[in-house]
A and B are shown apart, each in its own frame.
Chain A
């Protein structure tokens, strides 16, 4: 079984055994990621940084920050972590690991619900959860605006975005561009 321990060229020198461990860990986290993969970051940090020592604290934080700023679903922070830990093979292993179990379960669960969509239990579930979902969305916006509330410029930017997006059909990209320019000029 020595080949398992040979460093791999496409994996920043990690061995096949390391990659299997990484894959297994992310498979497990996928099933625990209720409320999004971001809720499992503390455990990813424990495994990748503290236990295995594959990347540093600063690299871990930067990986999450980049994925937040880049276009695309926030889940892609997992791909950046995978990249920093083990290059292209790391991306493959972490992304497949975090997505396979949760998507398989989601597909089956939604088909089950769809087949019984007129059942009282299913209707009670969607009716009852709707106000909570919107409350969670508002809370997410509030929590994400926390760093902005320390600066007058950034606070105004949040308020202007809410007003424009709520009341018009302008593409959000215009506001993202405005935010980048205001920030670059040092007002955010």
Chain B
């Protein structure tokens, strides 16, 4: 799958992976996915949009948070298990200290209206960040072998299933997922 633009870069060492993932995690308020897409695809250029979606899809069906699985896969691709470990450690170590410190502070400031207001505002932004990331990644479906109508249909069914019909995630992944994979199989084998 060839995409336009300059060729992809790669990290120099596991230490660089650790650094990039630490900085990335510390920018991720309300989830890291939006920042991960921006840093790994747009800034570092370690992955194409299509590769990012591919890793996310695999990360989705495995147990564990998809963004953690994605870090692990990316690290493993470049430096084997050392890379996987460096990326995961970057994702967790420093942010863990920050979140524990905040948890200790929170009990004292939870009742302050300005703190509660700031948290609400940040919550609204983090929701917007995720929607924007999804819209940006839609571009990667242009090269999908199923074609844009079939892809658009599956995306729409997923959104309606989760947000309107409240279907449990496992049924979306197993049920709709099987249909989508079968459709892709049929298209690819023609």
Query: A139 touches which one: B138, B141, B162, B187 (CB < 8 A)?
Result: B162
Judged by DSSP, the binding face of A is helix
A34 nearest CB neighbor, chain B only: B63
Known contacts: A110-B73, A128-B146, A131-B151. The answer to whether A180 contacts B32 by CB under 8 A is no
Chain A residues numbered 11-70 whose CB sits less than 8 Å from any CB in chain B:
30-39, 62-63, 65-70
Known contacts: A70-B102, A126-B54. The answer to whether A176 contacts B125 by CB under 8 A is yes
A115 touches B (CB below 8 Å):
no
Q: How distant is the Cα of A29 from the Cα of B29 in the complex, in angstroms?
A: 25
Known contacts: A62-B106, A172-B35, A179-B122. The answer to whether A120 contacts B188 by CB under 8 A is yes
Interface residues of A, count at CB 8 A = 99
B91 touches A (CB below 8 Å):
yes
Query: A106 touches which one: B59, B99, B128, B131 (CB < 8 A)?
Result: B59
Report the minimum CB–CB distance from A11 to chain B (whole Å).
15
**A106→B73 contact, CB < 8 A:** yes
Query: B132 touches which one: A71, A129, A161, A181 (CB < 8 A)?
Result: A161
Q: Could you write out 26 A-B pairs with CB less than 8 Å apart? A: A36-B64, A73-B31, A79-B100, A83-B103, A95-B92, A99-B88, A106-B73, A110-B76, A128-B154, A130-B53, A130-B144, A131-B158, A132-B158, A132-B172, A136-B169, A139-B158, A142-B163, A155-B124, A158-B127, A160-B128, A163-B132, A172-B34, A175-B128, A176-B125, A179-B123, A181-B121
